[in-house]
Structure 1
Amino acid sequence: MILLERSIAETVTKGGIMLPEKSQGKVLQATAVAAGSGSKGKGGEIQSLSVKVGDKVLLSEDRGAQAVLDDKDYFLCRDGDILGKYVDRN
């Protein structure tokens, strides 16, 4: 299981294109704040997670259990619920 903190949605792309509110709500941007050791495979071996603490990921709006703590949105989800992760190319 992975605990994700929701990030503020971008309203303008790097190229200057303004994103409408309807498109911002469909995919959630989040940062992994905690991660378990992985899940057990069919043979009993531990399969490691695809993300680690600090990774920025995309999560579908209807995935994971949502919790609000100290006015911050958190999601608890499985590794398979993550749509993808950001890679810093700087």
Structure 2
Amino acid sequence: MAAVAQATFKSIKSLVPLFDRVLVQRFKPETKTASGIFLPTSATSSPLPEATVIAVGPGATDKEGRVVPMAVKAGDRVLLPGWGGNAIKVGEEEYFLFKDSDILAKIQE
């Protein structure tokens, strides 16, 4: 995984993705079972493949110069690959930038 960029933004809302980039926040793994048992960090260290879309760019342009619309929008729940993305840390929170085409699926509720 790439190095985490430490950002000095006041808020993640001030970060606007460009082109076909999607800013997401991964769901955090549960640290406690339903019965109240706390799980060790080693049991919860792998990131979950689900995330919430925070912001999206306007889309990339095709060969004719037309903007290709994004497949997701802010607020969508998505399924991410187990690799890739650029990590951005704002305070104690970690976010990731992915290309729109790297997102595997939208999760319908």
TM-score bin, normalised by smaller chain:
0.7 to 0.9
Q: Considering only aligned residues, what root-mean-square deviation do their CA atoms show, in Å? A: 2.2
* Structure 1 unaligned residues grouped into runs of 5+: 13-20
Residue 59 of structure 1 corresponds to: 80
Partner of 2:22: 2
Within 5 Å, give how 1:1-90 maps onto structure 2.
Answer: 1-9=21-29, 21=43, 25=46, 28-88=49-109
Deviations 1:8-63 (A, max 9, x none): 23698xxxxxxxx59x8375211111111111012110001100000011111212
Larger radius of gyration: 2
- Could you say if the C-alpha distance between residues 9 and 85 of structure 1 is closer, same or farther in structure 2, counting changes exceeding 3 Å? farther
- Give ranges in structure 2 of 5+ residues lacking alignment: 1-20, 34-42
Q: If the length of structure 1 is used for normalisation, what is the TM-score?
A: 0.74
Q: Distance in 1 between matches of 2:94 and 2:79?
A: 14
Q: 4+ residue stretches of structure 1 with deviation over 3 A?
A: 9-12, 24-27
Give the structure-2-normalised TM-score: 0.62
Does the 8 A contact of 1:33 with 1:53 survive in 2? yes
Q: Give identity over the alignment, percent.
A: 34
Higher strand share: 1
Counterpart of 1:39 in 2: which secondary structure? coil
Aligned residues: 79
